[in-house]
Amino acid sequence: MSTLRLRGRTFGPGDHAIMAVVNRTPDSFYDRGATYGFAAALDAVSRQIDAGADIVDIGGVKAGPGDDVDVAEEIRRVADLVTAVRDRHPAVIISVDTWRAEVGEVVAAAGADLLNDTWGGVDPRLADVAAKYGIGLVCAHAGRVEPRTRPHRIAYDDVVGDVVAYTTDLAEKALAAGVSRDRILIDPAHDFGKNTYHSLELSRRLDEMVATGWPVLVAVSNKDFVGETLGGLPVDQRHAGTLATLAVSAAQGARVFRVHDAASARKVLDVVARQP
């Protein structure tokens, strides 16, 4: 199993790294823009670190459909925040959620340690940016859909097989582009290009991704598949389902956990780590 190394920290098999979400978007599905303001976002970063986050994932574009955000606007939202977080928290691992190489170039120069490409390599130049700056890259499976779109009746012969093949291919391409093996993660990207059944199947069989040897990131926090599984619960009532899914993922060997509530996630993962 590969060891993950980011900003001088090492996460080996059995280690759990918490990646806390801080979105500089006015239309986030979770907080509805509570951290869109610069000061609010920076303070949120500090709170998440105090709560136990190892990584802070900064995003400037809502994942789902919404108002257009061009490259310049995305950079405006995230670049200065990366600089400020690096100044205030020199040791924290900074991730930026983007699929655009132009954005990746700017935030890497500003001090980011990881590029979180949740849309599955739609811009292959992002791997070149990660290689150039010696930083990490998340290789995700988004069902080959366009960024910020929802799939219509998407189907797979075997969703887990498709996810494993696609993410490991992206990881090998990143390696060939010059990204260090110990800075590459794979992510099934629950709900991205998938329906609830697909996301649940991925959660049940996550060990098949772990078995590839690449460190696995899971991003399940308050997602739609959790709400639908529990009878159609709204976002603000998905906390218990989120924690249950985190525990299942950790028990199967996931390494990094992207969450909205770092403190609760840390408690759950600590319990899993103490199991014989």
Across 28-180, the runs of DSSP E, i.e. the strands, are 55-59, 93-97, 114-117, 136-140
* Per-10-residue mean pLDDT, the chain, length 276: 94 96 91 93 97 98 92 98 98 98 98 97 97 98 92 93 98 98 98 96 98 98 97 97 98 98 97 90
Cβ contact 95:180 at 8 Å: no
Q: Which of 223, 238, 255, 266 is catalytic?
A: 223
SS3 199: helix
State the Cα angle at 103 between 101 and 107, rounded to 5°.
115
20-271 domain in CATH 3.20.20.20? yes
Check residue 58 and give its pLDDT. Answer: 98
Model pLDDT for residues 165-198, shown as the tens digit of each residue: 999 999 999 999 999 999 999 999 999 999 999 9
Q: Is 24 a catalytic residue?
A: no
For 158, other C-beta atoms within 10 Å of its C-beta total 11
Q: Which of 77, 100, 255, 258 is catalytic?
A: 258
Q: Is 194 a catalytic residue?
A: no
Domain boundaries, given as residue ranges, for the chain? 20-271
